Amino acid sequence: MSELKNDRFLRALMREPVDRTPLWMMRQAGRYLPEYRATREEAGSFLDLCKNTELACEVTMQPLRRYAMDAAILFSDILTIPDALGLGLYFETGEGPRFRKTVRSAEDLAGLNSFKASDDLGYVMDAVSAIRKELNGSVPLIGFSGSPWTLATYMVEGGSSKDFSRVKTMAYDQPELMHELLTVLADAVADYLTAQVEAGAQALQIFDTWGGSLSAGAYKEFSLKYMQRIVSRLPREADGRPVPVIVFTKGGGQWLSTIADCGAQAVGIDWTTDIATAKKLVGDRVAIQGNMDPMMLFASPDRIREEVAGILAGFGHGSGHVFNLGHGITPGVNPDHVTAFVDAVIELSPQYHRD
């Protein structure tokens, strides 16, 4: 493997000194870019795009050609595992992801396919390998998965949900069944992320998108416990350097102190948590990733710059901060506003990394 020319992102995740705050954006390969929309049209559908090695590699590289990002993230979807388990993933226009089958009983759970990531999601590993080769050591590659709880919400509900009534009913009324499902998913995710590292991923993120929908006690029982199980089973290093893990629970700001003890090297925070408060809560246990409101990218470039300045000042001096949005970028953003965002981080952050 070629030597990494820019390891700023990996160093910050390990809380090692850097010359400036590294940055990347969740969903940085996406619909806000005209070149992405053209490639998706060429692919035919979102799933076809995910499963086409050449095109998945192409869309991963697109934002890096425009912006000085410090990391690339694998282009895929969090619902690849439930699809491989046999639930039949498809996308309804305007409705988001849907499954042809659901898991709402012990019989449904018993009927899931067996799972081996390198075989059942080989197209993802092919994409990881192709992207890593294409990057040629320019920046690190992030692999990722959805958290067990987040995957379970889609599998039980059959798609997106506003109130999570079915999955929460199962958790509260049939906890044994829910724990069985979450154990299956945690072991599948650990296998999946390990396979991504073996294929070339250099850092990992667990997207716990719906963990924040739970009560404090339920979050520890049904979400955090299973992310800890995953983190404990992941490879510690590859290519002679650590493989850092980021845990991101959207809406989980009030549990940051607990999340910081899960074994991951970094915690992601959304825009509802003040970064200075987050830093006090986690201390020097983990790095912090975040956390500009994605909607700020609809504001003027001057206002974006002000917001970046405020977040950098909130974190303050020293390493251990990866700049990101508090969730994924939205499709209607003007790509030039992303330029303003990236430029502001690059220009304003070095002052926080001088002795």
Q: What residues are labeled active site?
A: 27, 31, 40, 77, 154
User: Binding residue per annotation — 27?
Assistant: yes
Which two structure tokens, joined as six digits, stand for 165?
């009534």
Do the Cβ atoms of 123 and 77 come closer than 8 Å? no
- H-type alpha helices, the chain: 8-13, 34-43, 46-51, 53-66, 80-82, 106-110, 117-120, 122-135, 148-157, 165-173, 175-199, 216-219, 225-233, 256-259, 275-282, 301-315, 335-348
Q: How many CB atoms lie within 10 A of CB 144?
A: 21
Q: Hey, is 97 helix, strand or coil?
A: strand
Contacts of residue 138, defined as CB under 8 A and 6 or more positions apart, other chains included, come to 5, 6, 64
Do the Cβ atoms of 39 and 31 come closer than 8 Å? no
User: Binding residue per annotation — 30?
Assistant: yes
The number of C-alpha atoms within 13 Å of 314 and in the hemisphere containing its C-beta is: 22
User: Binding residue per annotation — 38?
Assistant: no
User: Binding residue per annotation — 209?
Assistant: yes
Opening angle at CA 94, ends 219 and 120, nearest 5: 60
Q: Which one, of 137, 350, 170, lies nearest residue 239 by Cα?
A: 137
| Whole-number Å distance between alpha carbons of 75 and 41 | 16
CA distances (Å), origin 15, targets 4, 142, 143, 217, 244 = 18, 17, 20, 30, 11
The number of C-alpha atoms within 13 Å of 126 and in the hemisphere containing its C-beta is: 12
Summarize the annotated binding site for substrate as residue ranges: 27-31, 77, 154, 209, 327
Q: Which residues define the annotated binding site?
A: 27-31, 77, 154, 209, 327
